[in-house]
Amino acid sequence: MVVLSFLPVLLFGQFNKDSIYSYGDLQRILELARKNNDQNTLAEVYIKLGDYEGDIYSEYEKSLEYYQRSLEYFKVKKDSDGIHKANHAIARRYIDAGFYTEASGILENLISVYKSDNQVLKLPYVYFDLGRLYKARGDVYKATEYLNKAVVLSQAHKDEIFELKIIFEKIQNFEEQNELDSALYQSFEAFKLSNLIGNRDLIAKSLYHIGHINKLGRNFERAIKYMADCEVIIPFQPYSETRKSLYRELAEVYALSGRHREGFLYLKKYTALNDSILNKSRHESLTNLAMKYGTKDIKSNIELLKIEKEFADERNKAQRRTLYILAIGLFVVLVSIYFIIKFYDQRISTARIISEQKEEINHQKIRELEDNMKMNSMRSVITGQEIERERIAKDLHDSLGGLLSTIKLQFDNVRSKKQDLADLKEFNHAHKLLDTAVDEVRTISRNLQPGSLHDLGLVYAIRDLINRFEGEGYPDVDFQYYEMPEKMDKMISLSIYRIIQELLNNSLKHAQAKEILIQINTEDNELVIQYEDDGVGFDQNNLKRKGMGLENIRSRVNYMHGSLTMDSEQGKGMSVLIRIKYQ
């Protein structure tokens, strides 16, 4: 059969670089091209032989040797496209072999050449391999940068299959960085694009990644849902690596969710399929080695020829030939009916799942828009409050405060001229009330707009706030801070100040606390605020306690995209933990 399949090449000397050939066929084409001194065919065959050695046998040194021979023939023919093609193949193999510096030099040079020759259609493939290179080096951020460039160009030229290949590479990068939100977003993008082009394999792969990311995020029910959808959509193939990975993931996620019976069933499926794939791989490896090194037994060929002769003799018998035809025809009809029914059933299931996914994506977009609207409204309210507080504080300080200070000076002037007023009880009482009014105006002005926050920073402003509550009748306040950031956004600093101010007011007015602890420190790019008091506490399920200003605190934390954890019980004080990204 091999000789017959090769006859057209021998007779007509034709070679199609886009066709698929066996290793043995390529060797025979190579010998024929050498005899005919066909340098074009020699260059293209060496490229394919290099692919075989690297991709199938993992013989990188032999693969690079073949690519180098191809490059030399392209140079002799002065075929610039062929030279670039061979160099690109060498760079890809360098990445597989771990020669990253050499591969980087070739790929960077190809970018310059393709840009200068205006061959932008070839750039995304170079950017994709640069992404693979930096990922192999461990620089995932650089890898993602080049993959993004490849995506942009592949979108411009409508190469959806290659664009999906890039997106799946980005998904793996984000999963390795544990950036699950980005990985999930890219997985939904892959689902939409694969659905658009109608490729069921890629739809199933997208659903698999969505399920896997939900598993990493410990959302096991959603992980099971998407992986089950993937199992329905994925086309049946007897030795599918994708299906094997799916069975392994389903076994693990069922076990993690406590559903051990289902997990055991999928583990059995995974084991059976894995054994089948291993046996197939062993058989293919032996077959490929035999084809490569020509070690097939001559006796086996003789036996094969005998069997073919016997089959030909039997086939000549008219009666048995008729029976075979009838049996095969019946079998084909039955199999066709089975696959037609299965095909339409899968199409219905696929359409249902795709419809559900589209609806879920639309709901997700609506929720995001609603959240954005709420955040914008909250931001406007808080900003408006602070602007109004600043205006009122300035009016109190500059207008009313100045007026009261002038009145006090007038009182002092009158008392200095008329000493007998100093002994007058009503005069002294009015003078004290005036002093109290001046202090009260200053206190209200400082509460509305703390000047120390703008002049000296957050730490000094908090200290100034705590100092107002020192003395008899006030609780002991312990303020600790570590590694505070040098620069923070004005609104973030002001919001943190307001949160601590609100918590202190709650402790003083409602909690009857004797000791208060305030701690502020940084972890990575987050500011961590811990507040504790030993007051009377409160029942968190009692909605009436929301009047204490806790909702105002929650609003400010949400405004800064932070998180708030509050713990309190009756008679056991209150503990608050706030995390805010200050950058």
For 419-446, the pLDDT digits (tens) are 666 667 777 777 677 777 766 766 676 6
Is residue 172 within 8 Å of residue 160, measured between CB atoms? no
Q: Count the neighbouring beta carbons within 10 Å of the beta carbon of residue 6.
A: 17
Amino acid sitting at position 440: E
pLDDT over 60 at 290, yes or no: no
| Class of residue 156 by CB neighbours under 10 A (exposed 0-12, middle 13-18, buried 19+) | exposed
One DSSP character per residue, 25-81 reads HHHHHHHHHHHHT-HHHHHHHHHHHHHHHHHTS--HHHHHHHHHHHHHHHHHHT-HH
Predicted confidence band of residue 538 (pLDDT cuts 50, 70, 90): confident
Runs of H (alpha helix) within 515-570: 550-559
Token pair, residue 108, equals 């960077």
Mind giving me the DSSP string for 500-519?
Answer: HHHHHHHIIIII--SEEEEE
- pLDDT digit string, tens, across residues 152-203: 887 777 778 888 888 888 888 888 888 888 888 888 988 998 888 888 888 8
Instruction: Encode pLDDT of 467-523 as tens digits.
Output: 877 777 788 889 888 888 877 777 788 888 888 888 888 888 887 888 899 999 988
Which residues, in sequence order, are bridge partners of residue 359? none
Rounded percentage of the chain residues whose pLDDT exceeds 70:
76
Per the CB < 8 A criterion, the answer to whether 533 and 574 are in contact is yes
What amino acid occupies position 181?
D
Strand ranges inside 420-525, DSSP E: 476-482, 515-523
Check: pTM over 0.85? Answer yes or no.
no
Helices marked H in 316-400 — which ranges?
318-395
> What pLDDT, in 10s, does the model give residues 366-423?
877 766 676 666 666 666 766 776 667 566 655 665 666 677 666 666 767 776 666 6
Q: CA dihedral defined by 478, 480, 486, 490, rounded to 10 degrees?
A: -40
Query: In whole angstroms, what is the distance from residue 378 CA to residue 383 CA?
Result: 8
| Average pLDDT for 248-276 | 86
Q: Give the pLDDT of residue 68.
A: 92
With a cut of 60, say whether residue 527 has pLDDT above it: yes
What SS3 class is residue 563? strand
pLDDT tens digit string along 564-578?
A: 888 888 888 889 999
Beta carbons of 252 and 215 less than 8 angstroms apart: yes
Q: Is 144:167 a contact under the CB 8 Å cutoff? A: no
Alpha-carbon gap, residue 194 to 268, rounded angstroms = 30
Query: Is residue 285 scored above 70 in pLDDT?
Result: no
- Of 67-71, 241-245, 427-431, which gets the smallest average pLDDT? 427-431
Whether the Cβ atoms of residue 485 and residue 558 lie closer than 8 Å to each other: no
First to last CA, the chain: 69
Q: Is 42 exposed, middle or buried (0-12, 13-18, 19+ CB in 10 A)?
A: buried
- Could you give the CA distance from residue 310 to residue 313 in angstroms, rounded to a whole number? 5
The percent of residues above 90 in pLDDT, for the chain, comes to: 5
pLDDT of residue 545: 45
User: What CA–CA distances, in Å, run from 544 to 41, 301, 539, 540, 574?
Assistant: 85, 91, 10, 10, 16
Name residue 465's amino acid: L
- Helix, strand, or coil here: 172? helix
